[in-house]
A and B are shown apart, each in its own frame.
Chain A
Amino acid sequence: MNLKATSRKNAIHVMVAYTGGCNGCDIEVVNAVLSPRYDVEQYRVLLTWNPREADVLIVSGVVAWQMVEPLKKIYESIPDPKGVVAVGACAVNGNVYKNLVGDIGQNEEIWAPVDTVIPVDVKVPGCAPRPEDVIAGVVKALPKILEAP
Chain B
Amino acid sequence: MTSGEKHVEIEKELSFGPVHPALIEPYRIRLFVNDEIVEDCELNINMAYRGIEKLFDGLPVERALLIAERVCGICSHVHAWNAVRVIEGGLNIDVPPRADYVRVMTHEMQRIASHLILFGHAFEVVGHETFATRSFLLRESFMDLISYVGGNRVMPSVPIIGGIRPRADLTESLKRVILERVDEFEEKYKGYVTRIIEDPLVMSRLTGIGFLTKEDAIKFHATGPTGRASGWDYDLRTKMDEYKPFEFNVITDESCDTKARIVVRALEVFESLKIIRQAVKNLPEGPVVNRSWKAEEMDFTTAYMETYRGELMHSYALDSQGKIRNYKIRTPTPTNLAAMEHACVGDHVTEAILTIASCDPCLTCCTRAEVVDSGKSFVLSDFEIVRKYGWRK
Residues on B with beta carbons closer than 8 Å to the beta carbon of A95: 70
Whether the Cβ atoms of B26 and A20 lie closer than 8 Å is: yes
Shortest Cβ gap from A111 to chain B (Å): 11
Tell me the bound Cα distance from A82 to B289 in angstroms. Answer: 50
Tell me the bound Cα distance from A51 to B21 in angstroms. Answer: 11
B201 interfacial by beta-carbon distance below 8 Å:
no
Whether the Cβ atoms of B153 and A130 lie closer than 8 Å is: yes
Whether the Cβ atoms of A23 and B66 lie closer than 8 Å is: no
Residues on A with beta carbons closer than 8 Å to the beta carbon of B18: 70
Report the nearest B residue to A48, measured CB to CB. Answer: B22
A109 interfacial by beta-carbon distance below 8 Å:
yes
B72 interfacial by beta-carbon distance below 8 Å:
yes
Check A35/B24 contact, CB under 8 A, given A22-B73, A104-B54.
Answer: no
Shortest Cβ gap from A86 to chain B (Å): 15
Within 8 A of B (CB), among A11-31: 15-28, 30-31
Contact mask A50-75 → B, CB, 8 Å, 1/0? 11000000000110111100110010
Interface segment among B30-38, B132-140, B209-217, B218-226: the answer is B132-140
Check A102/B59 contact, CB under 8 A, given A28-B154, A109-B51.
Answer: yes
Residues on A with beta carbons closer than 8 Å to the beta carbon of B19: 70
Contact mask B56-68 → A, CB, 8 Å, 1/0? 1111000000110
Residues on B with beta carbons closer than 8 Å to the beta carbon of A107: 50-51, 55
Q: Residue among B58, B76, B140, B153 with the most chain A CB within 10 A?
A: B153
Interface segment among B41-49, B173-181, B309-317, B347-355: the answer is B41-49
A92 interfacial by beta-carbon distance below 8 Å:
no
Check A104/B70 contact, CB under 8 A, given A20-B26, A35-B136.
Answer: no
Tell me the bound Cα distance from A22 to B392 in angstroms. Answer: 26
Shortest Cβ gap from B279 to chain A (Å): 24
B265 interfacial by beta-carbon distance below 8 Å:
no
Report the nearest B residue to A60, measured CB to CB. Answer: B73
Whether the Cβ atoms of B73 and A24 lie closer than 8 Å is: yes
Check A35/B21 contact, CB under 8 A, given A23-B73, A24-B76.
Answer: no
Tell me the bound Cα distance from A84 to B1 in angstroms. Answer: 40
Whether the Cβ atoms of A34 and B133 lie closer than 8 Å is: yes
Whether the Cβ atoms of B67 and A96 lie closer than 8 Å is: yes
Report the nearest A residue to B57, measured CB to CB. Answer: A103
Whether the Cβ atoms of A27 and B49 lie closer than 8 Å is: no
Tell me the bound Cα distance from A23 to B110 in angstroms. Answer: 14
Shortest Cβ gap from B51 to chain A (Å): 4
Tell me the bound Cα distance from A37 to B56 in angstroms. Answer: 37
Whether the Cβ atoms of B74 and A27 lie closer than 8 Å is: yes
Residues on B with beta carbons closer than 8 Å to the beta carbon of A127: 70, 152, 154-155
Residues on A with beta carbons closer than 8 Å to the beta carbon of B76: 22, 24
Tell me the bound Cα distance from A126 to B99 in angstroms. Answer: 27
Residues on B with beta carbons closer than 8 Å to the beta carbon of A62: 50
Check A70/B21 contact, CB under 8 A, given A20-B26, A22-B73, A107-B55.
Answer: yes
Residues on A with beta carbons closer than 8 Å to the beta carbon of B137: 35-37
B52 interfacial by beta-carbon distance below 8 Å:
yes
A1 interfacial by beta-carbon distance below 8 Å:
no
Point out the residue from A65, A67, A104 that lies within 8 Å of B21, measured CB to CB: A67
Point out the residue from A50, A70, A104 that lies within 8 Å of B58, measured CB to CB: A104
B357 interfacial by beta-carbon distance below 8 Å:
no
Tell me the bound Cα distance from A23 to B362 in angstroms. Answer: 9
Whether the Cβ atoms of A34 and B73 lie closer than 8 Å is: no
